[in-house]
Structure 1
Amino acid sequence: MVQSNDGRKILDTIGALQNSLTKTEKRIAEQILATPELLAQSSLSEIARTLSVGEATFIRFCRSLGFKGFSDFKLDFAIEIATQSQQPVALLDTNIGPKDKPRQIATKLQNVINRVVGETINLLDFDELNKVVKAMRQAKRIFLFGVGSSGVIANGAKNKLMRIGFQVDAENNNHFMYMQASLMRKGDVVIGISHSGTSPETTKALEIAKEAGAVTVAITHNLRSPITKVSDYVLNNGNRQGQLQGDSVGTQITQLFVLDLIYALLVQAEQEKATQSKQKTVDVIVQQRDK
């Protein structure tokens, strides 16, 4: 169960939970995502009748989203739908047509990026984020794990964190991930990146690292996915549209956004140290170029 809604947008939370719901819950979720405006002003009995479920079933669904019951859910949901209807409708995917001009395509991509970043902000638990930043500041070593495009993102984050003075490494090969994870110690932090949260390699690496004593962090879209079960902290990125899964620009942007937010908070917390470390790394590269 999600512990608390904490101001998260309901539709985004439903999207983040969708892949881990029961068959009945998934049917409820699909109907709400498809026609949210039809349910916003309905009573519990009307919603239950519309969805062909029992009232108790829908109340349990509300609780699984972090609400105490239907009344709390209905109030927040009605506000969200009313607010959403006052905002310009964002494109759900790129929908690139064969006659689109480059500027039109660029605008569509911009809409995608704006939407998924907004969704990420809605889903992030900022108390959890602060705890991750605190753990990283105290860490002896930091490791980032991810496969495929998530591995590319992990390597990019490694470069940024190294420049501000952190002992950090990244791996995208499962054998090397397992070996590194087995050598973790108390005081180390391991971050696993998996949009679906179902990557067996990344999940296994975090499980091994956790057993070895490291603090484990998951960056994932799905709130109840396997990787969350082996993570001390979970940071949720957006992009719930099926068309934009995997290595899409939307997914990569949201993962980068979470990691850049961590980076910004680390720099903010230790600005002088970060500035000095970054200058050292810049100087040594310039010196090598001048030789």
Structure 2
Amino acid sequence: MSNYHVQIKAGNIIDTIGCLYNSLTPSSKRIADYVVLNPTQISKHSIANLSQIVNAGDATIIRFCRTLGFKGYQDFKMELAIEVSNFQGREKEIFDTYVTPEDNAEMIGHKLKTAIESVLSETMNLLDFQCLESVAEILKDTKAIYFFGVGSSGLTAESAKHKFMRIGLNVDAFTNNHFMYIKSSLIHAGDVAIGISHSGSSIETTKALRLAKENGAVTIAITHNPRSDITKFSDYVLVNGNQQGQLQGDSIGTKISQFFVLDLIYTLLVQHDITGAKTNKLKTTEALCNKS
């Protein structure tokens, strides 16, 4: 299993709680629920007060703070107070993305725009950009890149294949679990396997990444949960956002944040070889447009 350490950035506390939530213990989830619903109240509470409110011991609260990257409760409380003061309008902004019966098409458009901006901001907060640059560096030199994903994440994998192929990379995507297992068991050392799973708990994608890693591939996970099953077999972890309300349903925010991460990688690759990327893009465009 990988010893890769996911960097949790202090100062983005609410977003960080969201991406780690499913991996927290029940007592830590009670703390998290209270913090997310009452962020302005935390600065008023001593650790003893908070302990009574959330029915968790002082040691549990300290462990929760350390999970988020802080030394202890006082550091956590101070950083959260700064975050709250900087984003006082955020709670109203998220609430405003909910559709009401009175909304016309233009108003719904504005609300969708706000929701998309929110999930992209969260992704920016959660991404480890040093890790992102390392991934781009690896991809530009590898012989083959394979995307794995099922369901909605499978659609993202297929889209990534199309995008990266257009600039000349040797890339393929697999969304059927049998084909995923066959390819990952026959993958060559040094090839790159990228598993896409928003929850990080996809059994099929996790198995494909495990097989690829066992066969010497460099493994990368794109997920919302940096401590999920898929990350146990990943050399690099890229965390995407998740904020979505009633307006976005189950997948629009997820897909936009996944595409955003992949577009960042794509842009870094193009930046490294702008001339070559343009040449390859032109060739593929001409091939697709030529009807003869």
* Aligned partners of 1:217 and 1:231 also within 8 Å: yes
C-alpha spacing 1:235/1:176, structure 2 compared with 1 (3 Å) = same
Equivalent residue runs for 1:260-279 within 5 Å: 260-279=263-282
State which of 21, 24, 34 in structure 2 corresponds to 1:21: 24
After TM superposition, give the deviation of residue 160 of structure 1 in Å. 0.9
* Aligned partners of 2:65 and 2:71 also within 8 Å: yes
Equivalent residue runs for 1:174-189 within 5 Å: 174-189=177-192
The answer on 1:116 being equivalent to 2:129 is no
Residue 46 of structure 1: aligned partner: 49
After TM superposition, give the deviation of residue 27 of structure 1 in Å. 1.0
Residue 227 of structure 2: aligned partner: 224
Residue 34 of structure 1: aligned partner: 37
Equivalent residue runs for 1:239-250 within 5 Å: 239-241=242-244, 247-250=250-253
In the alignment, residue 170 of structure 1 is paired with which amino acid? A
In the superposition, the TM-score normalised over structure 1's length comes to 0.93
After TM superposition, give the deviation of residue 227 of structure 1 in Å. 0.8
Residue 258 of structure 1: aligned partner: 261
The answer on 1:214 being equivalent to 2:217 is yes
After TM superposition, give the deviation of residue 147 of structure 1 in Å. 0.7
Consecutive unaligned residues of structure 1, counting only runs of 5 or more, are: none
Residue 9 of structure 2: aligned partner: 6
State which of 170, 174, 187 in structure 1 corresponds to 2:173: 170
The answer on 1:156 being equivalent to 2:166 is no
Consecutive unaligned residues of structure 2, counting only runs of 5 or more, are: none
Identity %: 52
After TM superposition, give the deviation of residue 241 of structure 1 in Å. 5.0
CA root-mean-square deviation: 2.1
For residues 28 and 247 of structure 2, the distance between their equivalents in structure 1, rounded to whole angstroms, comes to 23
C-alpha spacing 1:83/1:132, structure 2 compared with 1 (3 Å) = same
Residue 134 of structure 1: aligned partner: 137
Residue 60 of structure 1: aligned partner: 63
In the alignment, residue 25 of structure 2 is paired with which amino acid? T
In the alignment, residue 270 of structure 1 is paired with which amino acid? D
C-alpha spacing 1:21/1:268, structure 2 compared with 1 (3 Å) = same
* Aligned partners of 1:133 and 1:266 also within 8 Å: yes
Aligned to 1:218, the other structure's residue is in SS state: strand
* Aligned partners of 1:221 and 1:240 also within 8 Å: no
C-alpha spacing 1:4/1:172, structure 2 compared with 1 (3 Å) = closer
Aligned to 1:190, the other structure's residue is in SS state: strand
* Aligned partners of 1:145 and 1:172 also within 8 Å: yes
* Aligned partners of 1:163 and 1:277 also within 8 Å: yes
For residues 244 and 123 of structure 1, the distance between their equivalents in structure 2, rounded to whole angstroms, comes to 22
Residue 107 of structure 1: aligned partner: 110
- The runs of at least 4 consecutive aligned structure 1 residues that moved more than 6 Å come to none
* Aligned partners of 2:200 and 2:225 also within 8 Å: yes
For residues 26 and 91 of structure 2, the distance between their equivalents in structure 1, rounded to whole angstroms, comes to 33
* Aligned partners of 2:123 and 2:241 also within 8 Å: yes
In the alignment, residue 94 of structure 2 is paired with which amino acid? L
For residues 8 and 182 of structure 1, the distance between their equivalents in structure 2, rounded to whole angstroms, comes to 41
* Aligned partners of 2:98 and 2:246 also within 8 Å: no
In the alignment, residue 211 of structure 1 is paired with which amino acid? E
C-alpha spacing 1:71/1:81, structure 2 compared with 1 (3 Å) = same
Residue-pair matches, total:
289
* Aligned partners of 2:146 and 2:193 also within 8 Å: yes
In the alignment, residue 257 of structure 1 is paired with which amino acid? F
Residue 86 of structure 2: aligned partner: 83
Aligned to 1:130, the other structure's residue is in SS state: helix
Q: What does the per-residue CA deviation read over 1:229-278, in whole Å, with 9 as the maximum and x for residues that have no partner?
A: 11111100001458689842111111111111111111111112111111
After TM superposition, give the deviation of residue 189 of structure 1 in Å. 0.7
In the superposition, the TM-score normalised over structure 2's length comes to 0.92
Aligned to 2:227, the other structure's residue is in SS state: coil
* Aligned partners of 1:239 and 1:245 also within 8 Å: no
Residue 98 of structure 1: aligned partner: 101
